[in-house]
Amino acid sequence: MYAPTSLRSALLLLAAGTATGCASGPQVAEGEPTRLVLAQGDNQLTLTLVNTSAAAKVRSSATRDGALYEAKTSDPGRKFMDDAELQAVVDSFGDAGLLANATPNPVPGAIDVVMLECSGQRYCWSRRLRGMQASERAFHQARNLFNAAYNSVTAWHGTSAERGDLRSEDQKARDARDEAMRRRSRVPEFPR
């Protein structure tokens, strides 16, 4: 799986630097779903990070080609992250002081929400106003941390049942190229 090493290293170092703070904050429990969600109301976009050990509990369909790949999913914005890496992200929320500024539910009328569900608790950071408002600084910090973590993880799923895997698509393209080359060799040359 490809992911920028510098981001993961930075998050892990940030989490390791405050080991005493980690024990008191939310903990990613093996096998129990921990979700980090960005929901944008304007375009109905929902992006979700889930810990890998809880993948079987949150999937709606069977998987193939390994634990992280979903051939057909009802949630194309969902990605799975290793438990330890997701714990580092959760710890970075605590280190930034965001957990203390969170609400248990989205604010009424929110247009965007970042939500963390971990250890049976919910932490929400909402945005009701457009632009970068000082009163919503916690939301923007939470969204930036979410985006950094989400963009460091590869999505291992297809978008429909009809879509083949990459190897078969590659083979189809090679076969089409070979057929075009055969046809080209059969075309007689015309004198100039």
Q: Are strands 35-40 and 112-118 parallel, antiparallel or unpaired?
A: antiparallel
Which of 107, 83, 95 lies closest to 145, judged by CA? 95
Which of 64, 56, 144, 63 lies closest to 96, judged by CA? 144
Dump pLDDT digits (tens) for 48-83: 888 888 776 666 544 443 344 454 556 677 888 888
The answer for residues whose C-beta is within 8 angstroms of residue 180's C-beta and 6 or more apart is none
Dump pLDDT digits (tens) for 153-180: 876 655 444 445 666 777 788 888 888 8
Max avg pLDDT among 59-63, 120-124, 183-187: 120-124
pLDDT score at 19:
38
Mean pLDDT, the chain, rounded, equals: 74
pLDDT score at 122:
92
pTM score, whole prediction: 0.63
pLDDT score at 13:
42
- The rounded Cα 138 to chain-centroid distance in angstroms is 20
Model confidence at 148, in pLDDT bands (50, 70, 90)? very high
pLDDT score at 180:
84
